Amino acid sequence: MKKSIGILLLGFVLLLASCSTPSGSEEKAETKTTLKLDKKDLIAEVNDIFTVTGKTTPSASVSIDDVTVTADKQGDFELSHVYESDKSYKVLATKKGLEESSATINVTQPVAIKEKKQELEVAAKQEALNKIKTAAKPNAAKIPYNVLNQDPNKFAHQPYYLKGQVTDSGATTLLRVNMTQDGDSWKNPVTVIYAGTTTAVKNDIIEVYGTVYGIYAYDTTGGNTVTMPGITASIITVLK
């Protein structure tokens, strides 16, 4: 009888010991966020958005650059990001107290969508140029040089037209132009700022469609500051 009781006690002690000792899986506590993506090769939509879905550690933060979402309690997430170009993006999963995880996705956009976008961009640009051209001459007639020169900033961004003689050009496309003809000479200087390229050189007569920049200032080699009206050119045509 005593022997039986001893065996029972020994079994009970062993049972308690097994209960108090962590299992192998419990000993290996989670130290890193999980991250599993549904797809790693994605297509950007017509509206230039792509969407990443997958599973991570519950309530972890998932991000691409500065766009972040929080996974739900089951670890599911959906993150939308703006398509910039055909390239790889890094997806990052983080949670306080755990090591972060990352994965890479490859995003492309079909050629047909790119071509359609380019067509729309060209059409929009041409429409904007047409609006400027239509309004430029009438507006310039209302704002002669003496009025413009008094306060160029007052007319900033308004459509404008000029025809004048180039007197100087800078390292970038900055043209000094006298915009008022006075007999065989030209007077009333403005600075024409152009983001494109032009063949215009000193003494050329040019035609400019654009908008009023406002006051344009520059320093001379003598250390003086010169101000004059600035015109941001959309179209420059060399007449002669």
The phi, psi pair for 150, rounded to 5°, reads: -65, -40
The pLDDT score that the predictor gives to residue 197 is 85
pLDDT at 1: 52
Last residue of a domain, one of 76, 109, 142: 109
Note the pTM of the prediction, 2 decimals: 0.57
Provide the pLDDT for residue 24: 47
Domain match, 137 and 214 both:
yes
| Per-residue pLDDT, 155 | 97
d(CA 35, CA 52): 12
The one-digit pLDDT tens for each residue of the chain (240 residues) are 555 555 544 455 455 555 554 544 444 578 999 999 999 999 998 889 999 999 999 999 999 999 999 999 999 999 999 999 999 999 999 999 999 999 999 999 999 989 998 899 999 989 988 998 999 999 999 999 999 999 999 999 999 999 999 998 766 688 999 999 998 899 999 999 998 888 899 999 999 999 999 999 988 888 889 899 999 999 999 998
Instruction: Assess whether 79 and 125 both reside in one domain.
Output: no
Instruction: Tell whether 17 is covered by a domain.
Output: no
Residues 212 and 123 both lie in one domain: yes
Answer yes or no: do 129 and 226 share one domain.
Answer: yes
Task: Answer yes or no: is 3 within a domain.
Answer: no
Give the pLDDT score at 26: 47
CATH number at residue 223: 2.40.50
Is 66 part of any domain?
yes
Q: What per-residue confidence (pLDDT) applies to 230?
A: 96
**Beta-strand (E) ranges in the chain?**
35-37, 41-43, 49-56, 61-64, 67-70, 76-82, 87-94, 101-108, 159-169, 174-182, 185-194, 205-219, 225-238
SS (H, E, C) 81-92: EECCCCEEEEEE
| Same domain as 145, residue 81 | no
CA geometry: angle at 190 spanning 187 and 195, to 5°? Answer: 140
Last residue of a domain, one of 79, 109, 139: 109
173 in a structural domain:
yes
Count of domains for the chain: 2
Domain encompassing residue 174:
119-238
12 assigned to some structural domain: no
- Confidence at residue 25, expressed as pLDDT on a 0 to 100 scale: 44
> What CATH number does residue 83 fall under?
2.60.40.10
pLDDT at 27: 47
- Residue identified by tokens 């009023």 is 212
Whether residues 167 and 186 fall in one domain: yes
Three-state secondary-structure class, residue 186: strand
Shared domain for 124 and 95, answered yes or no, is no
Task: Please name the residue that has the structure tokens 């008094």.
Answer: 150
Question: Are 51 and 86 in the same domain?
Answer: yes
In a domain, 114, yes or no: no
Which of 109, 135, 160 is the last residue in one of the domains? 109
